[in-house]
Structure 1
Amino acid sequence: MYDDILLPTDGSSATTEALDHALTIAADKDATVHPLYIVDKRHLRAADDDTTEEVRRSLEEEATHALDDARVRIEDEGVTPETARREGIPHRAILGYAEEADIDLIVMGTHGKNGRERLAQLGSTTERVVKNADLPVLVVEIGD
């Protein structure tokens, strides 16, 4: 049922906890886990002309660390990783990669919010993925 599991990563604690769930499912199903880092092009557009390359380098370094950490953890659990990096608007790039790689399940972490906090988070990447995905999305709520 789940042969390919997508794990969007930014290297945060939300990703780390979501990875736990992705690994459990992947181990049970002998699935491949796809850690994906999105270089948010909005950060590049917002940078001054003289700092764009510095911002790009910083984001690329973050991507390398996040993907390396995920890859090592996945391999340590005996699961096959397939890392990828894309540039774009995060929710769009996640959904595009999911289609391109024929992903069966997306696993994402999010910080648990309630009341007004939840309303303030309506624009989050996770929510946009959930609203627009044509495949199952497992949202792992992360406590603060």
Structure 2
Amino acid sequence: MFDKILLPTDGSEISKNEVERAIKILDDGGEIIILGVASKIEANTPFHNKKNVKNMNKAFIEEANANVESMASLFDEEVNLKKLVIAGIPSEIIIDVAEEEDVDLIIIAASGTSSMKKYFIGRVAERVLKGTERDVLLIHK
């Protein structure tokens, strides 16, 4: 059983399967941290319209918030939840949050489920596995 679990979500159906696993292995009184990572675009050339970049970044944050809220709604009210949305590179943010929050376990969707994708670990999941010393549970379906 685990006292503190990190659940990164991208809003995909596979990431929603993380909820079922987390509930089964969470200690009584434990905490689940739902993390949404928003993409972030920098206006670093004269060809980037700063207003458009700002609007896109705002939309990315809104989408990440919606993904976190959607996942949070799958838990019973008794579950101790913490919700975070951070802009950046997903694998780096996941690893950083896992360290900062001192989580016992990261539960992450491994990859897609169509054709050959189900046999490979996705890029974000692979980077998290290689970049953290925390325990990681990969969800395949």
| TM-score for the superposition, normalised by structure 1 | 0.81
Runs (5+) with no aligned partner, structure 1: none
In structure 1, the residue corresponding to 2:140 is in which secondary structure? strand
Distance in 1, matches of 2:70 and 2:22, equals 15
Shift of the alpha carbon at 1:40?
2.2
Instruction: Report the equivalent of 2:7.
Output: 7
Distance in 2, matches of 1:90 and 1:2, equals 23
The 1:14–1:85 alpha-carbon spacing in structure 2 relative to 1, beyond 3 Å, is same
By percentage of residues, which structure has more strand?
2
* Cα-Cα RMSD: 2.4
Q: Deviations over 1:92-113 (max 9, x none)?
A: 1100000000110000112257
Distance in 2, matches of 1:94 and 1:23, equals 20
Q: What percent of counterpart residues are identical?
A: 30
The answer to whether the 8 A contact 1:108-1:126 is kept is: yes
Instruction: Report the equivalent of 1:56.
Output: 57
The answer to whether the 8 A contact 1:23-1:33 is kept is: no
By percentage of residues, which structure has more helix?
1
Instruction: Report the equivalent of 1:98.
Output: 98
Aligned AA (1:83): K
Instruction: Report the equivalent of 2:71.
Output: 70
Aligned AA (1:8): P
Distance in 1, matches of 2:42 and 2:99, equals 26
**Would you say how many aligned residue pairs link Structure 1 and Structure 2?**
135
Instruction: Report the equivalent of 1:139.
Output: 138
Runs (5+) with no aligned partner, structure 2: none
